[in-house]
Amino acid sequence: MTNPFTLKFDNRFATLGERFYTPMPPEGVSRDPYMISTNPAAAALIGLPAEALQHAHAAEIFAGTRELPGGKPLAMVYSGHQFGQWAGQLGDGRALLLAQVRNNAGELWDIQLKGGGKTPYSRFGDGRAVLRSCIREYLCGEAMAALHIPTTRGLCIVGTNELVLRETMEPGAVFTRLARSHVRFGHFEHFYYNDMHDELRQLADHVIEEFFDEARNAPAHQRYGLWLTEVVARTATLLAQWQAAGFCHGVMNTDNMSILGLTLDYGPFGFLERFDPSYICNHSDHHGRYAYSEQPSIALWNLYALAHALQPLIKSEESSAILKQFEPVFLTHYKRLMRAKLGIAEAERGDDALLAELLGLMREGGADYTLSFSALANSVDAPEMFTTLFHPSAREKAKLWLSGYHGRMRGAALEALHNVNPRYSLRNWVAEVAIRDAQDKGDYTTLEAVLNIISHPFDAHPEYTHFMQSAPEAYRELCVSCSS
Ligand code: AMP
Ligand code: MG
């Protein structure tokens, strides 16, 4: 095969200069790396032929051991607020931007390694990633993409044959992720709090030129205001999508907030199973700052932190007015998405109450979030599939709700809901089965099966229906934390 890695390189971020990053090749790994999983759907996004990932050099390139010719590897610097406190300088501590490329549609994409070794921003960390967290991030990015939720994507996972110390020694891996950009709210905070206001403007112009058409084409005095307006709108829309999908991020620090409104940095995330708005997916989050129900207001908190850092570009009176848009944009999208989950195209009076009643009942009856909505599609012919999701004490009420709902739908074809409400979400226990098979047995067939299921979550996958269910006994006590 001739060099299959001849991508259209366009290393834009590198043109900003070294106040924005440290140029450096990845440390790489010492032993022979090997390909664990490849994702042709993501390869297509950057114009990489799927065969390239099978090339003899692919594992070394995506372990950081072999150079990707045309790339300009660099570690970005950023800062951020973590759990509400200013954390100062952070940065790509175990991530490295390998290259930026344009696909045939002219879109710019970052190729980033995670776990490829130390950088000047590693602080006390080892710059490594464990296979467990690589698999979780890989699967979840693809699950979100399949739900049409903006996200980073997973290109491949390479095994390193090295052990990495976390709570125990664990097999190491390098994850390659793709994103239109990895720039975070925390990038702007970094330049603001370090009094580097020229760089702040330079970075704002950099993202506007590439990703914010309206701001780019606007008169100079409206440029930054329109940009922030769009960032607020994208973030509010993203949060509406998270809430509707029952996705809980777990670590919504400003350094994990994408300026493009992507879901970024999957750590201790979780999808709701038994519906509980106060669900906390991150076991290190003792006060529930990032509980499911808190996510929209935390996103707004983070936008305030961003707007504060953008004061040199946008006066606070203007940004205050812009931030007021968050709530209406969020609510409009959230309500539209939730109506769609019920199959309601045209809103009527009483729809908000219908939804609120259902969520209340799901909470009271401990019903599974994904399964409850999924069961609506067959609820005329098989109402028990819906009602038995509720604790026996709440089943009569669930039946009553269902008959009210059927009345509201007036014979509409509910089967079409199978295209709206996924049958499968990436349950932590399912990811864990894939992880244990990979870690303990070197068997990646479950990983591939789960990747396929969550990439097509609206399909039935009859041979895997057990992965639709909530955790069996052996997986009930799963604990996910920031450690990865
Ligand atoms: P996170 O909580 O994963 O968003 O990470 C917060 C910061 O810690 C980021 O700047 C990471 O780059 C850094 N970090 C996390 N884990 C490691 C590690 N194993 N080695 C080096 N840096 C890390
Ligand atoms: Mg992070």
Express each pLDDT in 188-201 by its tens digit: 999 999 999 999 99
Tokens matching residue 15? 């043109």
As a whole number, mean pLDDT of residues 100-127 equals 97
For a pLDDT cut of 70, what percent of the chain falls above it?
99
Q: Which residues pair with 100 in a beta bridge?
A: 110
Mean pLDDT of 76-82: 98
Catalytic entry in 110, 126, 195, 255:
255
167 pLDDT exceeds 70? yes
The mean predicted confidence, pLDDT, of the chain is: 97
Rounded to whole angstroms, the Cα distance separating 188 from 202 reads 10
Whole-angstrom CA distances from 25 to 89, 96, 474 are: 21, 8, 43
- Please, which residues have CB within 8 angstroms of residue 473's CB and are 6 or more apart in sequence? none
**Residue 466, pLDDT score:** 97
Q: Which two tokens stand for residue 414?
A: 């509910």
Distance 190 CA to ligand 1 centre (A): 16
The answer to whether residue 392 scores a pLDDT higher than 90 is yes
Contacts of 108 (CB under 8 A, 6+ apart): 10, 12, 100, 101, 102, 180, 181, 210
Predicted local distance difference test score (pLDDT) of residue 55: 96
Evaluate if residue 354 carries a pLDDT over 60: yes
| pLDDT for 402 beyond 70 | yes
pLDDT at 1 over 60: no
- What are the strands, taking DSSP E only, across 186-309? 247-248, 270-271
pLDDT at 80 over 90: yes
Q: pLDDT-based confidence at 481, cuts 50/70/90?
A: low
| 467 neighbors 430 (Cβ within 8 angstroms) | yes
- 254 CA → ligand 2 middle, Å: 9
Mark whether 255 is an active-site residue: yes
Q: How confident is the model at residue 484 (pLDDT cuts 50, 70, 90)?
A: low
Listing DSSP states for 104-144 in one string gives TT--EEEEEEESB---TT-TTS-SBEEHHHHHHHHHHHHHH
CA–CA separation, 340 vs 437, rounded Å? 37
| Residue-level pLDDT at 230 | 98
Residue range 205-230: average pLDDT?
Answer: 98
Q: Is the CB of 482 under 6 A from ligand 1?
A: yes
Q: Which residue has the tokens 């052996």?
A: 474
pLDDT of residue 202: 98
- pLDDT (mean) for 396-407: 98
- CB of 94 within 6 A of ligand 1: the answer is yes
| CB atoms near residue 316 (< 10 Å) | 12
Q: Give the DSSP H or E segment for 304.
A: helix 295-309
Q: Rounded to the nearest whole angstrom, what is the distance from the C-alpha of residue 256 to the centroid of ligand 2?
A: 5
Tell me what pLDDT residue 476 has: 79
Tokens of 234: 């994208």
